[in-house]
Each structure stands twice: as C-alpha cells, then as structure tokens.
Amino acid sequence: MISNLKMRLLAVNLILFCLVSCDSAKEENTILFDELEPEEFNTFLSSTELEIIPLATDEVVIGDFSMVRSADNEYFVFSGQEGKAHRFASSGHFLNTIGQIGDGPTEYRSPSGFVVSGDSLVILSQSKGSFLSFYSKTGEFIKSMHFEESTYESFELTEYGYVFSTGGNSVFENNHNLHSRDFKGNLISEFYPIVDRKMFSMGLNNFGRGECGAFYFEPFNNQVYKIEQDSLIPTHKFDFGDFNMKENAFESEDSYENFQKIMNNGTAFILAYAESEDYAYFNIMLQKNPDKPKAFHLLLNKKTGASKLIKSLEETAPAFQFMDGDRLLFLFHAGDILNLTKENPGLFDKYQSVIDGIKQDANPIIVIAKIDF
C-alpha cells in the first residue's frame, strides 16, 4: 500500500512538473504586449542608420499603392488604383510598368496581390474564380492560370509552389482556408479548416515573407505561423491583455452585432508579419470604440529575445512597411515625409539634399531603417 502511495505521489509530481514545463514553454513563446514600453517613431528613426530613396520618374506617379516587394536588388510597388505593378532599380530609378486591367487575353480584373518568382512577376486577380497572370519583369505577358473552384483573396510564393488563402469567415465548399498548388497550378493540398463564425470577411493580405520562408496570419487570431506544404507551424503568439478576443465574441447569429461587440470590447489585429534569420517584425493595430486605432511596429531579436516596440505615426503614417534581412522598409507619401521633416527638425539632416528635391505631389519615398539591437 505504501508502495502504491509513493507511485501515486510520483505520478502527481510528474503531472505537475509537466504542467509547469508546458506553462513555461507557453510563456517563453508568448509575447506579452502590455509589458513592452513603446518609443516614438521619430526617436527610432533618429537612432538608426537610414537610407532615403525617392521613386524618381516623370512617366508615372503612383497613387493608391497597397504592396511593395524587393527582389534581386529591385523594388516592385503595386498600385491598387491603377491595378499595375511598377518596377524600380535600387536607386529609385523607374524601369517599367507590369500588368494591365481589362478584359483582353493578357489582362485581368480585380487584382489583389502579386509575387516576384524568378524572372516573372505573378499577379493574383478575381473574376469567376481566381486567375494568376504571369509577366516578365520587363512587362511582357507570359501566360495565365484559371482556378474555377475557389476565389482566393491573397497568395504567397513558397519553395514548392504557391499557397492561397480564401480570406473568409464563412465555410467554403471545401471547408479549408488554405490551398497549396505547384508551379503548374495543380492542387497539392487543402489545409487549415475554416472556423464558421458570423463575422464580416476581412479583405487583408494574410501572408508574410522572409529569409525563413512564407508565413501566415489572420484577423482575430493572436497566433502566427510558418507555412509548410500542407500544414502550419506555430511561431509567435501574442497576449494583448484587455485587447484579447473575448470568448463570446461570435455568439450572435448577426455579423454586425458581433462586429460591434468586438469593436466595443477592444481587439488587436496583426496587419503584417515577416521574419529574417535574426529578426521578426510585426505591424500591430489596437482598436476600441470610440477611440482612434493605435498602430505599432514590433521588432524581435530572435537570438537574444530582446524586443523594440515603436509607435506608428498618426497623421504622417507610412503607407506600407516590411522587413528585408536587417532592414525595415517604409513607403511614405511624399507629402507625409515632408510633414515629418517639418515637425522634427534635424531628423533627416544627413539627407537634406535628398529631402530638398522632394515635391509635395511626387512619387512615394522609400525609407530604409537598419535594425541593429
């Protein structure tokens, strides 16, 4: 009997040890947002090495841009207003335009994103299903692929092909949010089952990219993932405190009621996520009615665990940002960077000659900040 009691005590101790270990592992992989002390955006810029690159051309002025990518020491900026991608050299010199909205055999409707794949630029569009339109980097049409069974909101390039997201909250015909296809367009797998919940669809880009591969994130989910061919590997998780999603967030059958409840209770959105070998980057927005949204840039040193939380600018906000190795890239409207310069004298003293050449209605400006902490 004593022997049995010892065995029971040993079993209890083992269980407690496992629970403590699991909690420790969870804490280690969870970023506690409330414990981070944010610094001002201009403070961050003034403390790091910068590079300012005006996108210089008389041929095109980009208006409503929604995505920027770098590949082979070039920049590709997508204009949602025009439905085109514009290609620039690393110096900011304009090279050419890629793609065209229309109904012709080399054109597309409702573009939602693009990737640069080898010598090609691939544009995702939506019309009676989804299309991939392939162009050379110099703008020549190559081919297209049509997928009738699903309408994809966003996609990303992987080592084995492409991965697509339906981007919805309602169950589609195959009950899965993510689909992977090879480079010929053949379906490889359907994975990550959709949770059916009454909520408006959020038309966001669900993918990030870095030296470590492709990554996935979604609205109303504090967990982010690395993408494998047919599965997701959890990477970082956030604890947003009072802005965490409440358990009863989707209890109503009315999508509008659920949305209003979420906004009134407060919620956090991960708007962008990327990783390099040494760093992880997150663009985060906190929102609670009736307050204005608050946006932040979070940098995480993967080797040391150190982090840097940066307040995003309210009035002079960069339109897009992403991480490339140890560089953080911001895309500013020309007028916004001039306002930033005016409000923070001395911030760009080293680049005054570049700033002096920028006009209010000029093309966007790329600002690159070196990450070093």
Q: Specify burial of residue 156 (Cβ count, 10 A radius: 0-12, 13-18, 19+).
A: buried
Query: How many CB atoms are closer than 10 A to CB 25?
Result: 10
The predicted pLDDT at position 198 comes to: 79
The parts of the chain modelled with pLDDT lower than 70 are 1-28, 59-63, 168-174, 201-203, 316
The predicted pLDDT at position 293 comes to: 92
The predicted pLDDT at position 106 comes to: 93
Query: How many CB atoms are closer than 10 A to CB 356?
Result: 8
Contact (CB, 8 A) for 236 and 280: yes
The predicted pLDDT at position 18 comes to: 38
pTM of the model: 0.86
The predicted pLDDT at position 126 comes to: 86
The predicted pLDDT at position 67 comes to: 85
Buried b or exposed e, range 32-46, using 16+ CB within 10 angstroms: ebeeeebeebbebbe
- Strand 232-239, strand 30-32: pairing: parallel
Closest Cα to residue 238, out of 23, 32, 1? 32
